[in-house]
Chain A
Amino acid sequence: DTAVSQTPKYLVTQMGNDKSIKCEQNLGHDTMYWYKQDSKKFLKIMFSYNNKELIINETVPNRFSPKSPDKAHLNLHINSLELGDSAVYFCASSRLQGGLNTEAFFGQGTRLTVV
């Protein structure tokens, strides 16, 4: 009965390939996110969706394309993978309260390794 689930947990792929990571939340939240955690453990927001609408798009290469088919799902597609894309990618969701984001619930992460 996982709240935020993402698949796969591990992804090893060659440079130049295209890959997708899927995320689903069953919390009824309106807002979903993708975060990237680099090798130094720094968590950086990549994208934020609210009710399937893109709200935040940080400075991320356009090889990264999020897609939200409905408010419970937010997938991340990455084209032409590069070595520097190797990281752990976290999906998260939250609700808004008083115009601010309440606590985010995180998935277990997808460790992407590009070789």
Chain B
Amino acid sequence: AQSVTQPDIHITVSEGASLELRCNYSYGATPYLFWYVQSPGQGLQLLLKYFSGDTLVQGIKGFEAEFKRSQSSFNLRKPSVHWSDAAEYFCAVGAAGTALIFGKGTTLSVSS
């Protein structure tokens, strides 16, 4: 069965520092991969997606993610975090015959 693991439940980063959020997936083939962000009391907003092709994907708000097939990973990165980036981040996988399957999320706190 498909699954998504986000190993870090909570991460705190200083404003201006770089960020990497980890995501590992389990799927028999190359799935579609996504990162979403959820601010408090809000719905989920798509940050970026990977379908095929270039394994480094650029998204909104200065985020990028890299697909590594050998590691079954799709880690999210940002070179310089802003206080407004504090939110919940979800990695998701799209598989045949199923809805998007989400990881349990990583809470990002930004310290000044």
> Which residues of A are at the interface with B, using a C-beta cutoff of 8 A?
31, 33, 35, 40-43, 45, 48, 55-56, 90, 92, 94, 97, 99-109
Contact = CB atoms under 8 A, between A and B. Distances in A.
Contacts of B92: 104
B42 A102 contact: no
A90 B105 contact: no
Given A41-B88, A41-B105, A43-B102, A100 B43 contact: no
B104 A42 contact: yes
B43 A108 contact: yes
Contacts of B95: 100-101
Contacts, number: 68
B100 interface: yes
Given A106-B44, A108-B42, A43 B90 contact: yes
B96 A100 contact: yes
A40 B97 CA distance: 26
B83 interface: no
A55 to B, nearest CB: 8
Nearest to A107: B43
Nearest to A105: B46
Nearest to A97: B51
Nearest to B32: A100
B94 A45 contact: no
A42 B105 contact: yes
B94 A102 contact: yes
B51 A33 contact: no
A102 B32 CA distance: 7
Contacts of A97: 51
Contacts of A48: 98-99
Contacts of B94: 94, 100-103
10 contacts: A42-B104, A43-B102, A48-B99, A55-B97, A100-B32, A100-B94, A101-B100, A102-B51, A104-B99, A105-B46
